[in-house]
Chain A
């Protein structure tokens, strides 16, 4: 068996004149937690829909679990769980009824049903809410229920489309903890997010922009391959400082991060030199230090010049 759960080769998908995926190739290792990160319009949803088999592509090849998606869809589909952005929960059914309903659709055998339901309720920590109407769940809990329903047929690959969008940080951490546990038990998880720093939590990720891949690999590797230095500068009048520093050739990018500026330079530019430039520009330095680049830094620099 291949070590890849999913392989895309030169896949293109167009909506009229717009290329949602543009000659896109990617390997997703089996049993990884793979994040697809990128802003709206990057092609994440399209990619997941192709993998779920609910959308046809124009060109290229997709292999899932060693089978060709175009020829073997019927045999692949039962092995995939898919949670779209607007997951079709029935608001007027209870938590338990929703799960049973999806168990019916996916033809979960009666004999296995009770055991599996128990295991899922345990896993998702939803048992205390089994009789609650889906409509009465909080945003984070709805996402957990959606996840549970997508897992009811014990899929080998789980596709999740922006499950943490609009979810508060606490629920986001809870949700990821569930994904780690699932993954430990052998499920390949493919999750999309418009939140760049969510790449950090995955074992591997692909950064996408306008239907193209701009970076991929393990989070640590992508960081190391990013051959720029990022300096964090704290100074007064941040926006004025940014505009001044943007005139300097030494910096590839100057952007505001919270109450600080991130200055990106070539990898061989030492801190002394940065500090000299900032001072020469007449700016006060409250603090200046070399930092580990965030995935936002990386995204901004890799997509520079193509606004």
Chain B
């Protein structure tokens, strides 16, 4: 087997006349943390379902853990783990019972399971919660358990679907630590999230819009190479009014209100001084404009805008 955990070539899936996934291609290396980002309805879930062998592609090719997603879906299912945001755990039974249940689902050998479970209870804070009913756990502990349920059978790839929604920032970091250790052990992590600040922790991300991949690469490299223009932050007296005004000016690609501030994206050719002078003649500035680094979220929003125009 080579060092690619996933290869996808021109994958398409139609539902009736609706094209949910429209010819996507990408490779994911072994042990890579791969972020899959996109708006609701962009084709993220459909892609994941095809990769897990749960849905046949309309056309195109794909291999996951060395097996063909169309011809060998059963082989794939035992070699992957899957954690969804909401439905992973049984809330009315204990932590240990959940682990046992999933070990059964994944047909783990009893001896292996016992060793893994002991290791898990030893190495994480969950040891103290072993006999607690899941519904009484703090959300961070619950997410950690859901993750372990999905990986205790040592899958080659684990799919995490919005694993950290609603989780405490401290617990979120602990969770990402675990994701990183999995990657260090050579497990490939495929993760979706709407928190683009945490997506910056991925080795690579793909942004998918309307079934097509609009950008793929390392987060820092993507914002450097794909984001067009410069972002300025400025404090203004009346941000809403300033926004409407800014959007009428040549050279302003976008204007977003953040509380009492306005974030302006200016085109590369635009002259910031001219634009700020025009603005300041109509609205008063509370702070001078500051050039800020575009974030992955800025890139995401600008690429979607581009697609929709």
Q: Which residues of A contact B (CB under 8 A)?
A: 33, 39-41, 138-140, 162, 165-173, 176-177, 180-181, 184, 194-197, 200-203, 209, 219-220, 239, 255-259, 296, 299-300, 303, 307
Contacts and interface: CB of A to CB of B under 8 A. Distances in A.
B201 A259 contact: yes
B289 interface: no
B237 interface: no
Interface in B108-126: none
B173 interface: yes
B169 A167 contact: no
A195 B297 CA distance: 14
Contact of B194 (A33, A41, A162, A168): A168
Contact of B195 (A138, A162, A181, A195): A195
B3 interface: no
A168 B260 contact: no
Given A170-B304, A259-B220, A40 B166 contact: yes
Contacts of A197: 197
B258 A165 contact: no
B240 A258 contact: no
B171 A39 contact: yes
B156 interface: no
B259 A139 contact: no
Nearest to A39: B168
Given A39-B139, A180-B239, A258-B197, A170 B169 contact: no
Contacts of B39: 138, 140, 168, 170-171
B62 to A, nearest CB: 25
Contacts, number: 106
Contacts of A39: 139-140, 166-169, 171
Contacts of B170: 299-300, 303, 307
B142 to A, nearest CB: 9
B300 interface: yes
Contact of A258 (B201, B258, B305): B201
A166 B197 contact: no
B104 interface: no
A172 B197 CA distance: 14
B196 A169 contact: yes
Interface string B236-259: 000110000000000000001111
B98 interface: no
Contacts of B129: none
A139 B256 contact: no
B169 A177 contact: no
Contacts of B42: 168
A224 to B, nearest CB: 14
Interface in B31-72: 38-42
Contacts of B239: 180
Given A40-B167, A239-B177, A166 B300 contact: no
A180 B257 contact: yes
A296 B169 contact: yes
A162 B194 CA distance: 14
Nearest to B200: A258
Given A139-B40, A171-B40, A296-B197, 17 more contacts: A39-B139, A39-B140, A39-B168, A41-B138, A139-B41, A162-B166, A166-B40, A169-B194, A169-B196, A170-B300, A173-B256, A180-B239, A195-B195, A200-B259, A209-B168, A256-B177, A258-B197
Contact of A167 (B138, B194, B260, B297): B194
Contacts of B93: none
Nearest to A193: B166
A167 B162 CA distance: 11
A166 B162 contact: yes
B165 interface: yes
Contacts of B200: 257-259
8 contacts: A39-B167, A39-B168, A166-B85, A168-B39, A168-B42, A209-B168, A255-B173, A259-B201
Contacts of B140: 39
A33 B259 CA distance: 9
Contacts of B41: 138-139
Question: Which of B41, B166, B173, B257 is the most central at the interface, judged by chain A CB atoms within 10 Å of its CB?
Answer: B166
